[in-house]
Structure 1
Amino acid sequence: MSDIRLLKITEKRLDILKLMNIESLEDLINHYPYRYDVIEETYPTQEDDKIIIEGTLISPVKIFFRGRMSRMSFSVEDVYQVTIFNRHFLRQYLKQMTIITIIGKCQKDKITASDIKIKPISEIQGVHPVYSLKEGLTQKSFQQYVKKALNLLKGNIESFVPEEYIIKHQLIHKESALWNIHFPQSQEDIKQALKYLKYEEFLKFQLTMQTIKQQRTLEVGIAKRFDVQKFQSFILSLPYQLTQDQQTSVKEIVSDLQSPRMMYRFLQGDVGSGKTVVSSVALYANYLAGYQGALMAPTEILASQHYQTLLSFFKDTDVKIALLTGSLTNKEKERIYEQIQNGDIDMIVGTHALFQKKVEYHRLGFVITDEQHRFGVEQRKALKNKGSQVDFLIMSATPIPRTLAISMYGDMDVSTMKTMPKGRIPVVTKYIKSSSMKPILKDLKEYLASGGQCYVICPLVEDSEVLDAKSASQIAEAMQQYFRGTYQVGLLHGQMKDDEKDRIMQDFQKQKIHILVSTTVVEVGVDVKNANMMVIYNAERFGMSQLHQLRGRVGRGHQQAYCFFMSSSTSKEAIERLKYMEKSHDGFEISMYDLQIRGPGEVLGNRQSGLPTFLVADVFKDFPILNVAREDAMRIVEGYEKRNEYYHLMSTIQEKLKENNEYVD
């Protein structure tokens, strides 16, 4: 790394750069623009009211202040009345007959300007990068630092991508890409720069994934042997027949358990596709082989539900099951710790309590984590390391297309479940343009009178002065008053203590509570078959995948279920998303649509999932590049020992993996 002090700038400026995580010349040139201003004369059309024009200021400038806010207005060319907000510091330059360039939005003869340049358009037209900067740095000064850094590093910026692939994919070299991304002369320059930089990011990521996968294939696991007849008898004893996807997933997982290499598999399935059944069957195979199994869930509510499910599945077997969560008393925990260590417990279900220091397993052979993106990398690793040569299965109900899953989770084998169990009826979904329950109150009363239960979901726990959204506390209080003496209304949210949450959820399951007002704490896994109506307030505030997850809490039995999305939003995009949800029940389609709109960080939780946050690449919009990079990485990893030009490349990846054995960022 080259010392940032080579720029010869003030300590104050160096401190600002440090706040931006820029501590070397390489950090500086890798701080890319987040957008570009293209300045060329533009007049509005019917479809687009954007305007960029040059004009002569012909009237005195008027400024109005309201607190710290300002509004400045003036006329240009006897044609346009211009208004701009919070740019009063430009007043000293705006003298009559000054030629200026105005950028903004136009309606008839009125322009609301977003920026004003005190220069004619001929002097500033072109493509201008815009950076995310800390206060104290201007766009101009930052660009000067980047130019100086690029000149200092001239001739020493090597392309990470091998020459063979630069030629194959018609890429420019890295040094040219960096000049183009920071100092483009045209939009074609930006396109060429991004083509190289995106491919390089994906190639690094895929080389890392493929290297980890190759290393794992060399890791010696335990080939688990068990009584296949007993295993098949257990599957036949289940209360329902496995779907085709469940059968395929079970075969893949059991094959991994029987293999002499360690399992590292990613199981993804749509809401209600039956991942819990598959994981239970897999735990039983592991048990028959003489090993302990652990199932980790992100919340106590979900852990408790998994525990109850396992108890019901294994009630006619000798399997001993325990639930280990943080809310147990110390005495209860100590008793379970002892049973786990002595091998008196065969299957342990719990939260992060499963990997605490005090927990020592007798013969841990299989670990499953549910809703894997909710656990940090270190948490998953800590549980897996509780045993020796442990097989590992991670599950997620945020489904993405299989080809994309293989590319994103390239170090794992992928099992995908789409088909639903027989008898599952799609949830009738309706978007209601309202901020209150008034339009559906009659439906709710009739449904409750028939003996059903209802979820009411709110985006907030308490009222907010900042956000215009319904809070669970406010809605619960209003509904308690309205239904007093008729129906019991409960309140559930994440700020409650775990034992209180469990008590409320149990009361709802036992039908002591008829209406459960909740935040998204019920999003994952909670299963109450008598609850077949859901009302979601401010539905526009949730992502589509999250709405699909929430909707999946109803319709768990054989009765028709209903879900109402309440929203008074006027946003065209928000309304389109909610209307899309009315007609689509395929979690894979919904997730892809959601990912394209909101990006992977919002939906999958990149930082927690162990996936890198790419600087310029987008795994969904740039999927074709990701796929090509994956194929190239597989070829490089397979043949690098025979090709000198790949050796340096792979050495870099392997060195990085020693520092961080999850991925290279």
Structure 2
Amino acid sequence: MERYDRVFEPLGNFELKGITDKSIEKLKNLGIVTLYDLFYYFPRNYEDRTNFKSINQLKEGEYAVIKGKLFGIETLRTRTRKTMIKAKVSDGTGFVELVWFQMPYLKKSLKMGDEYIFIGNVKRGYNYQMTNPEYRKYAESKGVSKEILPIYSSNKDFNQRSLRKIVKTALDSYTELFQENIPEEILKKYSIADRKKALKDIHFPKNTRDIEEAKRRFAIEELLILETGILEKRFAIDSMNNEMYVLEDNKNLVKKFLGNLGYSLTKAQKRVVTEIYKELNNGKIINRLLQGDVGSGKTIVAVIMLLYMIENSYQGVFMAPTEILATQHYLSIADTLLELGIRVELLTGSVKGRKKDAILEDIKNGKIDLIVGTHSLIEDNVEFHKLGLIVIDEQHRFGVIQRKKLREKGVIANLIVMSATPIPRSLALSIYGDLDVSIIDEMPPGRTPVKTKWINSSSDAEKAYSFIQKKLTEGRQAYFVAPLIEESEKLSFKSVQELFKEVTRRFPQCRAGLLHGRMKNSEKDEIMHFFKNHKLDILVATTVIEVGINVPNASIMVINNTERFGLSALHQLRGRVGRGIHPSYCFLFSETDNDVSKSRLMIMESTTDGFKIAEEDLRLRKPGEIFGIRQSGFSDLKFIDIIHDVKTIKMVRDIAYEYLRKNSGKIKNTHLRIDIDNKFLENL
């Protein structure tokens, strides 16, 4: 028997009758490179030629075969001057309208009064209609081939017939290579279809039941590969996760820090602190996602845990995705911790020369307790004396490899990753299956709800500008956000420079500053410092301000061309205001006609609940957009709806967990092991 891992070899390594080197090269444009890719290039739909119906039984949206007599055929022109053939057919139970485009020869081919077989999709207008149906003369036909044919996503290089032939050739020659990758006990317990049979059935099914059973099989398979791969990491940590280290349990600094805060933690913050503290105190390796809405107080929780580890002789790291955010974290905690005798330093790409060398030397010698920084912290020349806890803010902006590199620098690899983007339960169950999840689901007292208004006309815009002028005159500050940096010839959206010109024209008495990602870090820092200290009234910016910037006096957020933003991004931007004692407002400027964009804007107007927004964002996005947040292969799920299939996700996660538990965290099925390695390798 040939090795199973051959399925991941290029198609050119296999003898496939009738498939040329040229067609193999063209298949790459469809994402088909290996034999595995070809077998798993599943149909997007089917032509069900077994669905022979009388016209009065037709339903909208189905693929059907009808027999009827032709009458009333004519040639028409569309508005764009295309040729359209329109005809009617009846079988005595009703009428169907037939339409063909750019096929003028049909007027001569189709004969009035003759009986034909028509095959196609049924649409509903004033009457039932078929567009570009396949047809043949009934008298010449020995009935219809009653089969279900696959319909594949294609391009100009391949029609359906050629793709079907390629797939059929591969199935006939190499299906035996695809050994079973679901452990036998799981197959039997959950009555899952055999892999080889399912591969044949999903491409060339005999009936609709074959399709459904194959789809169920591959839905479970794709989740099992993913969940087992994710949970395997957790088992590896848990297997050695018992009294890995001993802390002296000193808490004096934490008590002083809490006493100096000037306010009490929320119940949710206290609960999360207790959860993490118990694990640290038991000597367990922390592997936790700290999740909470914008402004829920995650940073305070992280600082408390860092302080606890520092007081117990370890160093801490606080890693942020941008220099602006890292600098802000540093400025917000450095003075407070200095009063407690804790040395905090900032290490970013801007720190160079002797200053950087001195910081690196002090990190190595243990003279620095807490290092705040960006990806600079994972550089090879950064060596720690005794790194005990890593906190990563806005963790979705870091890749798997970056997190791994940082953890490897620790004496003990305790990790807390923070996300201000609320994550729906379905995602928490799946992509964060290797993490414990702590949720801060309570806002601190004093957070002002932000009133949100969608501005979709010039008259509403003028009213909004008058309102903003009033608030600026009262001493408030405002953000104006644009999606682009420079004018684009292809897009009509205002660039941030154009927006800056408009803002300075509309508010000539106000001091305005400009901030975007292409500025030098020193320029960004200066602008943010001016805005934070109210030397600027208005900050015109790109989404560089999406996370972390905290200016309590800023109570106005204006987002231009909001149709260019996802819901989570809009929610993050809105979270920049409502941080002080003043009533806060968010204006969403958009005159879009797009239905999805309209839905997003109406959701933003109706709720400030980040978890509801996250669910809706997930529902409205295309599947390929969802998992930019983590490189783990979820973007190519073919059979799972990440919102509606929570039960299936939970079931398969439990299956994976139980399988690993029984096997002491080992993946004993060789073929499952190979599939997992390939899946996670391609997504690093």
1:76 to 64, 84, 87: 87
CA distance in 2, matches of 1:217, 1:433: 53
Matched, 1:169 2:190: yes
CA distance in 1, matches of 2:506, 2:88: 63
Q: What is the CA-CA distance between 1:201 and the residue it aligns to? A: 1.4
Determine the structure 2 residue equivalent to 1:17: 27
Secondary structure of 1:33's counterpart equals coil
Deviations 1:451-488, CA, capped at 9 Å, x for gaps: 1111112222223333343322222111112222x012
Determine the structure 1 residue equivalent to 2:216: 195
Q: What is the CA-CA distance between 1:227 and the residue it aligns to? A: 1.3
CA distance in 1, matches of 2:54, 2:383: 69
Identity of aligned residues (%): 35
Q: What is the CA-CA distance between 1:19 and the residue it aligns to? A: 4.8
CA distance in 1, matches of 2:121, 2:430: 42
Cα distance change on mapping 1:559 and 1:170 into 2, 3 Å:
same
CA distance in 1, matches of 2:32, 2:334: 54
Count, aligned residues: 651
- Which amino acid is the alignment partner of residue 72 of structure 1? T
1:60 and 1:95 in contact (8 A); partners too: no
- Which amino acid is the alignment partner of residue 248 of structure 2? R
Secondary structure of 1:314's counterpart equals helix
1:293 and 1:364 in contact (8 A); partners too: yes
Q: What is the CA-CA distance between 1:312 and the residue it aligns to? A: 4.1
1:43-122 aligned at under 5 Å gives the runs: 58-60=73-75, 71-77=82-88, 88=102, 90=103, 95-97=108-110, 108=126, 113=131, 115-117=132-134, 119=136
Matched, 1:587 2:604: no
Q: What is the CA-CA distance between 1:426 and the residue it aligns to? A: 1.3
CA distance in 2, matches of 1:463, 1:124: 57
CA distance in 2, matches of 1:101, 1:601: 32
Deviations 1:221-243, CA, capped at 9 Å, x for gaps: 43333412443332232232111
Secondary structure of 2:181's counterpart equals coil
Cα distance change on mapping 1:93 and 1:25 into 2, 3 Å:
farther
1:30 to 40, 43, 52: 40
CA distance in 2, matches of 1:25, 1:663: 16
Determine the structure 1 residue equivalent to 2:500: 476
- Which amino acid is the alignment partner of residue 466 of structure 1? K
Deviations 1:231-264, CA, capped at 9 Å, x for gaps: 3332232232111111111122222323333211
1:407 and 1:630 in contact (8 A); partners too: yes
Q: What is the CA-CA distance between 1:380 and the residue it aligns to? A: 1.1
Secondary structure of 1:240's counterpart equals coil
1:656 and 1:664 in contact (8 A); partners too: no
Matched, 1:144 2:159: no
Deviations 1:357-386, CA, capped at 9 Å, x for gaps: 222222221111111111111111111112
- Which amino acid is the alignment partner of residue 183 of structure 2? P
CA distance in 2, matches of 1:475, 1:421: 34
1:7 to 2, 16, 20: 16
Deviations 1:6-65, CA, capped at 9 Å, x for gaps: 2132111122234545344333111112344667679999x9799988867834576998
Deviations 1:289-317, CA, capped at 9 Å, x for gaps: 11111111111111111111212431421
Secondary structure of 1:153's counterpart equals helix
Determine the structure 1 residue equivalent to 2:486: 462
Cα distance change on mapping 1:567 and 1:641 into 2, 3 Å:
closer
1:269-308 aligned at under 5 Å gives the runs: 269-308=292-331
Secondary structure of 1:428's counterpart equals strand
Matched, 1:184 2:205: yes
Moved more, 208-217 or 431-440: 431-440
Secondary structure of 2:318's counterpart equals strand
Secondary structure of 2:631's counterpart equals helix
- Which amino acid is the alignment partner of residue 198 of structure 1? A
1:198-277 aligned at under 5 Å gives the runs: 198-219=219-240, 221-277=244-300
Determine the structure 1 residue equivalent to 2:92: none
1:263 and 1:392 in contact (8 A); partners too: yes
Determine the structure 2 residue equivalent to 1:382: 405
Cα distance change on mapping 1:128 and 1:607 into 2, 3 Å:
farther
Determine the structure 2 residue equivalent to 1:452: 476
CA distance in 2, matches of 1:80, 1:43: 7
Determine the structure 2 residue equivalent to 1:596: 619
Moved more, 71-80 or 379-388: 71-80
CA distance in 1, matches of 2:55, 2:587: 44
Q: What is the CA-CA distance between 1:588 and the residue it aligns to? A: 1.2
2:74 and 2:107 in contact (8 A); partners too: no
Moved more, 277-286 or 496-505: 496-505
CA distance in 1, matches of 2:282, 2:186: 36
Moved more, 623-632 or 379-388: 379-388
TM-score, structure 2 normalization: 0.85
1:29 and 1:146 in contact (8 A); partners too: yes
2:63 and 2:119 in contact (8 A); partners too: no
Cα distance change on mapping 1:278 and 1:127 into 2, 3 Å:
farther
Cα distance change on mapping 1:37 and 1:493 into 2, 3 Å:
farther
TM-score, structure 1 normalization: 0.88
Secondary structure of 1:505's counterpart equals helix
Determine the structure 1 residue equivalent to 2:346: 323
Q: What is the CA-CA distance between 1:654 and the residue it aligns to? A: 5.4
Gaps of 5+ in 1: none
- Which amino acid is the alignment partner of residue 74 of structure 1? I
CA distance in 2, matches of 1:538, 1:635: 48
Cα distance change on mapping 1:239 and 1:139 into 2, 3 Å:
farther
1:518-557 aligned at under 5 Å gives the runs: 518-557=541-580
